Amino acid sequence: GRDKMKVIIDPGHGGKDPGAIGPTGLKEKDVNWQIAVITAGELAKHGIKIMFTRNGDEQVSLDKRVQIANSIKADYFVSIHANSASNPKAAGTETFAYRQNIEGERLAYSIQQSLVREIELTDRGVKYADFTVIAKTTMPACLVEVAFINNPDEEKLLRNNAFLERAGVSIGKGILTHLGLFKDQPKPWQVEQGEKHLYSLAGKGIINTPEAWKDKLLEPIPAWAFFSLIDRITE
């Protein structure tokens, strides 16, 4: 059988390179590492093999990170960063793909969606850039910018362990969703609406087997079912 799925997690910066530094001195390299470890834990629960491009606080060049990923033929590569801008009001979450219409872009969308849904910062969307680690890696890759470390409000969040935990877990869930391994997603609004009306109709005695309908909420409704429902409602 095929070897276990291998995912490389790339905690940005490290060692003598602190990355961006927040207004109260929080170093990006430390935030990246903490989130990366939590993401790895989430993936490991699903039997995915994880490798880091750096272990703890070490300095590793961008080319070396690429070389590590390419040499072990990883299946996916996810780089974890905190953003920084000259404007202290810059805020939110964004994920970078190398270019459009490649699998790395779909991976980026999956992570971005999961992360924003969980940490609820401004959704800056998926963007494109030719950062070395996503341009030169041979597997689908993306780079996540969780929050702005230069923004005092977001730096405060990045100091909070519960926030880092949620960020790491949701990046993991975004990867798992892309791989088709994570089913326990928050419900799409259509399903939430559907369940609300389903149980309401059950309460009125119009539908007597609500459980049987739950999995069908996103299916197109055939005309006969629609007509029979309307007919019963208007009796």
Backbone angles phi, psi at 25, to 5 degrees: 95, 5
Q: What is the pLDDT along the chain (235 residues), one digit of tens a residue?
A: 346 899 999 999 999 999 999 999 999 999 999 999 999 999 998 889 999 999 999 999 999 999 999 999 999 999 999 999 999 999 999 999 999 989 999 999 999 999 999 999 999 999 999 999 999 999 999 999 999 999 999 999 999 999 999 999 999 999 999 998 876 555 677 778 888 888 888 888 877 877 777 777 777 777 887 788 788 777 7
Residue 178 has a pLDDT of: 94
Asked if 49 contacts 5 with a C-beta cutoff of 8 angstroms, the reply is yes
pTM: 0.78
Helices (H), the chain: 28-44, 62-71, 103-119, 132-135, 152-158, 161-178, 189-203, 210-214, 223-233
Residue 2 has a pLDDT of: 47
Cβ-Cβ contacts under 8 Å for 29 (sequence gap 6 or more): 11, 12, 13, 14, 15, 17, 18, 19, 57
Cβ-Cβ contacts under 8 Å for 218 (sequence gap 6 or more): 188, 190, 191, 194
Residue 230 vs residues 198, 220, 223: alpha-carbon distances, Å? 14, 16, 11
Cα angle 10, 16, 17 (rounded to 5 degrees) comes to 50
Q: Which two tokens stand for residue 132?
A: 């070395």
Residue pLDDT, tens place only, 30-62: 999 999 999 999 999 888 999 999 999 999 999
Q: Specify the DSSP class assigned to residue 186.
A: P
Residue 186 has a pLDDT of: 57
